[in-house]
Structure 1
């Protein structure tokens, strides 16, 4: 039976009363550590490779003596030297560490702890588990101490604390820097998929065939900016994207998280319901729809579909980029997300209201790009355009992005929604058709395409005459 704690352990935790852990032993299992080292001495090549995959380091061992032995084992493994008790003893002796671990007798005791490596996987997991618990305790205790020393800037402070706690659990999975072999393998997998399936989407479908032909879907880790002047229908188009992701015509659904800083969740749900059910919202509000008619049946059916769809809506009206990132992390840890939508960028609250507006927007833009990379999902960000294109009566361009050039820099894709040049300019509202301009795309072509806009149900569709 594995012993979880030991009274003669070389380490203990002396926390203050705030931590509630004064004099407690840190989690550990000395026997599991010895069993694991015994497995390494029995079959070093296999067991040590599994240890490395599980991110077991010398620091993962509670007993410093065990850490020293493991360090020598790793050194031999990396040099492709034979792993044997006599070789390990000689290495420790050369490094003047043999006496530190208790001499050859202790090494012999460890090597004879277990006769087979059959349970190596269990002991790897046990050592990793106990080491992770100790890391969490140290991070959490450090957070408590930092709280007592807090001097101001609560949002930034909380984000830093949360990042430290998350780093314990998130960073244990993989290193941030990857050898070229792994990314090359991933790229070849995408290439093979494209060749075998003849242009099939490699990302989340937008729901529009012409746009998917440009982008092959919304790709993971990409920040996609959808920009337009007010009342051009950008929220409607973004909701159509979200609907296509969560309720695709084919393929598995993607969990969608919508941050709506402008509209309430109920108002957003109403728009999505009417759009999918193809019901005129004005007639619904005026009470001109029959109670048991076809429209109600379609609404009930759409409501049933949405209630089962993996869609999350956060309608917090005043939220900073750090708060947004924290919320996204928490939801992603419970339900892995496939698509995030933010409506819209300029409404995010600044971390520091004193800095110039351009810097505030730049911070939000960089933060959203960081979320896309951290959570490995496409992030769709709505943004405003300035008035220049209207004044000059021309097609919008990248320089028209409002308040910050960093949006253009951070975005992987920039989409711009504009009225057709021949549309009636009497009112600044969405026309029956719209031009969607792919103004920037890091990994694909740019160009223009047309969409049909059904104003009565606030829905965009593939263009048709």
Structure 2
């Protein structure tokens, strides 16, 4: 194509792609999160499409439904609204929308074409500047380089480059905050003294993996930690923070429960808090006093900021989108995922190892983006059961390569009592006497084996474990973390299931 041909060629655009994406977003507002923050109204070629996208993003960003009926009112003052047909055009966009998974592809093309239009305009500008002798040619090149760099960076999700002085100042601020905080932790307390000492708490931007074989208690431990973090939540006003609140202690928890319902997860917490065995509740064997304790615990904990998303088999991109939206609306200090092998991806025809790699990579990116710790539970392979010593190792992680690589910390839950109980010999034999002695040493105990820690030591932390209430506790210490704090200082967040 010759320069003369290009002179009369329209700027690159694809109105069909713009219409298709707007239709998808009108049909499913959640896809706004899926396309990320890269796309802006000005990237659309058609001005009316710019206005539609702006209205969509504004309404959905405020937590309101953005469908043709509701956003038509905000567009009525646009000059092209009636020319396009008003509400009927918006309804037609939604009715003719292509499959929702295509949203990212349309968004990428719209953005790419917008950059190409900017490149074309830059070329026109350079032709004019070439005849401007008030500046040197080198100065014109420098100006053009600045514009080109801006175009290259405009859609980049990477964080700004941070000077060492700024990074070191933040590090000092973290150290000072840890010094002032009870327990001298730089991260969020788990409520378990020795585990906190080993980890230094749960650190922002870290991906922590908690793995274990079935019945070891990984969900119970994650639930214990989430509960402690939420019930310890203290905040102060901060206009620059999500929801206008800055966390002083504890935190707001977003719990992705892919295996258990919100009610089942709540039941575990209520059992731990009330001391009433969950098995007695499930079987209807609890007496009136226990039911009252259980109900009182529910009333006491009704305001803790623990939010449960019980969507099973959720796509990792959708989970991250829901977490981002919740963070924007309410704030998040800790994300828990139970468990990562139940998540899905958009990968077509890939093997499970590749999929898990996408999932762990996305969770690590989410931890950095929101600057919160992500605690993700993981299964272990069956090869653990074939060994005499069944304590897990890093090589036991199921689909392990990417999990070990992406994680900042890998922990394993192990309870020797579980295995010993299944070796019980016949009663009234010397073997049974020896077995009873062994059980006395391991019953009610659990181990958290820290197999990897990017910024700290590895090793084993011993905890107590009450199988009836699935409660983990501290061994041989005062009740510094185990006491019952007053809940009067906590905010009015509700125990929520599902979310949006």
Question: Which TM bucket (shorter chain)?
Answer: 0.5 to 0.7
Alpha-carbon distance change, 160 to 303 in structure 1, aligned in 2, over 3 angstroms: farther
Alpha-carbon distance change, 427 to 462 in structure 1, aligned in 2, over 3 angstroms: farther
Equivalent in the alignment of 2:462: 450
Alpha-carbon distance change, 316 to 249 in structure 1, aligned in 2, over 3 angstroms: closer
The one of 473, 479, 493 equivalent to 1:461 is: 473
Does structure 1 conserve the Cα–Cα contact (< 8 Å) formed by 2:257 and 2:308?
yes
The one of 253, 257, 277 equivalent to 1:256 is: 253
Instruction: Give the CA RMSD over aligned residues.
Output: 4.1
Question: How far apart, in 2, do the equivalents of 1:173 and 1:318 lie?
Answer: 27
Once the 2 structures are TM-superposed, how far is the Cα of residue 375 of structure 1 from its aligned partner?
1.0
Deviations 1:50-93 (A, max 9, x none): xxxxxxxxxx99xxxxxxxxxxxxxxxxxxxxxxxxxxxxxxxx
Equivalent in the alignment of 1:439: 451
SS of 2:103's partner is: helix
Does structure 1 conserve the Cα–Cα contact (< 8 Å) formed by 2:315 and 2:344?
yes
State the structure with bigger RCO (CA 8 A, min sep 6), 1 or 2: 2
Once the 2 structures are TM-superposed, how far is the Cα of residue 301 of structure 1 from its aligned partner?
2.8
Deviations 1:207-242 (A, max 9, x none): 100000111210001001000001111000000010
Once the 2 structures are TM-superposed, how far is the Cα of residue 353 of structure 1 from its aligned partner?
4.5
Deviations 1:98-124 (A, max 9, x none): xxxxxxxxxxxxxxxxxxxxxxxxxxx
Asked if 1:411 is matched to 2:407, the reply is yes
Equivalent in the alignment of 2:416: 420
1:128-207 alignment to 2 at 5 Å?
137=54, 154-155=100-101, 157-158=103-104, 161=107, 176-194=160-178, 200-207=184-191
Does structure 1 conserve the Cα–Cα contact (< 8 Å) formed by 2:411 and 2:452?
yes
Question: How far apart, in 2, do the equivalents of 1:288 and 1:218 lie?
Answer: 38
Equivalent in the alignment of 1:338: 333
Does structure 2 conserve the Cα–Cα contact (< 8 Å) formed by 1:199 and 1:216?
no
Once the 2 structures are TM-superposed, how far is the Cα of residue 389 of structure 1 from its aligned partner?
2.7
Equivalent in the alignment of 1:118: none
Question: How far apart, in 2, do the equivalents of 1:174 and 1:249 lie?
Answer: 31
Alpha-carbon distance change, 425 to 280 in structure 1, aligned in 2, over 3 angstroms: closer
Does structure 2 conserve the Cα–Cα contact (< 8 Å) formed by 1:290 and 1:296?
yes
Equivalent in the alignment of 2:286: 289
TM-score where L is the length of structure 2: 0.58
SS of 2:324's partner is: helix
Asked if 1:325 is matched to 2:320, the reply is yes
TM-score where L is the length of structure 1: 0.63
Equivalent in the alignment of 2:207: 223
Equivalent in the alignment of 1:391: 386
Equivalent in the alignment of 1:47: none
1:328-367 alignment to 2 at 5 Å?
328-367=323-362
Asked if 1:235 is matched to 2:214, the reply is no
Alpha-carbon distance change, 351 to 174 in structure 1, aligned in 2, over 3 angstroms: closer
Asked if 1:277 is matched to 2:274, the reply is yes
Once the 2 structures are TM-superposed, how far is the Cα of residue 326 of structure 1 from its aligned partner?
0.8
Once the 2 structures are TM-superposed, how far is the Cα of residue 311 of structure 1 from its aligned partner?
1.0
Task: Specify every segment of 5 or more residues in structure 2 that has no aligned partner in the other structure, as ranges.
Answer: 1-14, 23-40, 43-49, 58-89, 112-153, 235-247, 425-441, 478-500
Aligned residue pairs, count: 333
Does structure 1 conserve the Cα–Cα contact (< 8 Å) formed by 2:208 and 2:373?
yes
Does structure 2 conserve the Cα–Cα contact (< 8 Å) formed by 1:261 and 1:316?
yes
